[in-house]
Amino acid sequence: MNYRKLGNTELNVSTICLGTMTWGEQNTQNEGFEQMDYALDQGVNFWDTAELYAVPPKKETFGHTEIIMGNWFQKTKKRDKVILATKVAGPSREYLRGGGYNYGIEKMTEALNDSLKRLQTDYIDLYQLHWPERNTNMFGKLGYEHKDKGDWNKFEDVLGNLQKFVKEGKIREVGLSNETPWGVSKYLELAKEKNLPRMMSIQNPYSLLNRTYEIGLAEVSIRDQIGLLAYSPLASGYLSGKYRNEKYPKGSRMERDWEFWKYRYNTPNLKNAVDEYYKISEKHNLDMSQMSLKFCELQHFMTSVIIGATTMEQLKTNIESVNVNLSDEIIKEINEIQKIFPNPCP
């Protein structure tokens, strides 16, 4: 396994991060336990979850993923072997603390304490803001329209809340998710000016089908030591090749929940791009998933690549990607496809 520093901290996190959002929906607790056992044995010490999970989010499964992880920690007594990341939800559904903004002190305190209880731990290594409260582009939305009522919790206040949690020993480091270059820069600026907790990571989408992170945030990541935690590096399975020819295997994410995912993947050039990347993997005798994941890991702005497997076979294949070698020729061919079909699934 390979390791990198989380931001400018002394935490060494594996460049493969164990994603968990299917546990409690597509995966049972026992399957989650098996994944955690195997991942830790392979040196994957960085695990990511969220209070909102399992996904697709709904009242019946809210918090279930954290519960499964907490039960594993209780059973194995290996909490100290894991660098644990979770997230507090942004403006959300009615069933989540009544809906509305969540980054005020009362709701954040409730969210953190509930996560600690479900996870059966007394501290979180990395506590992340799942998505912005303000109106901005995220989750693939294009065409920015500035509509801002200004009633969201101000960044300085949010950082003050996080500082309180750090002082209480409940969290160690803080991070962002689904954030923009403006948002990241403002958080970093305020932290420096006001001596408040510094954001150490940005959890945003990144894959061969969505390299929009490179446009603005990549430079911020490198210059300010706030690396990317890439989610959806296989584009929800499209970059494994299993959905080629519009085949959706029974039980797969697209077969089960197409209505939830279609806004990201029902795009004109998706099929063409996937076919071209598949040809590259075939030409060089590479597993398509491993090629796609390794490309992500190689990026200089990358801290860790979050994988999400529903079977042990997928998990083993994904973790093994750290041992794959991508030649300059392969990288060049991948970049040529990006020029022809740029970011088909932003």
Chain-centre distance for alpha carbon 66 = 15
Q: What pLDDT does 336 receive?
A: 98
- The DSSP bridge pattern shows strands 3-5 and 12-14 to be antiparallel
- CA nearest to 216, candidates 185, 251, 261: 185
Burial 252-267 (b: 16+ CB within 10 A, else e): bbbebeeeebeebbeb
In degrees rounded to 5, what are phi and psi of residue 336?
Answer: -65, -40
Domains annotated on the chain, with CATH:
3-340 (3.20.20.100)
- In this predicted model, what pLDDT tens digit does every residue of 56-97 receive, in sequence order? 999 999 999 999 999 999 999 999 999 999 999 999 889 999
Q: What pLDDT does 137 receive?
A: 85
Residue 266's alpha-carbon distances to 34, 259, 334, in angstroms, are 33, 10, 22
Q: What is the DSSP letter of 27?
A: B
Q: What is the pTM of this model?
A: 0.95
Chain-wide mean pLDDT for the chain? 95
Catalytic choice (3, 38, 53, 243): 53
338 vs 276: CA distance, rounded Å: 10
Q: What pLDDT does 255 receive?
A: 67
Q: What are the residue ranges in the chain where pLDDT is below 50?
A: none
Q: What pLDDT does 164 receive?
A: 98
Q: What pLDDT does 262 receive?
A: 67
Q: What pLDDT does 322 receive?
A: 98
- In this predicted model, what pLDDT tens digit does every residue of 160-174 receive, in sequence order? 999 999 999 999 999
Please indicate whether residue 53 is annotated as part of the active site: yes
Cβ neighbours for 51, distance < 8 A, ≥ 6 positions apart: 62, 63, 66, 86, 87, 88, 89, 96, 111, 114, 115, 118
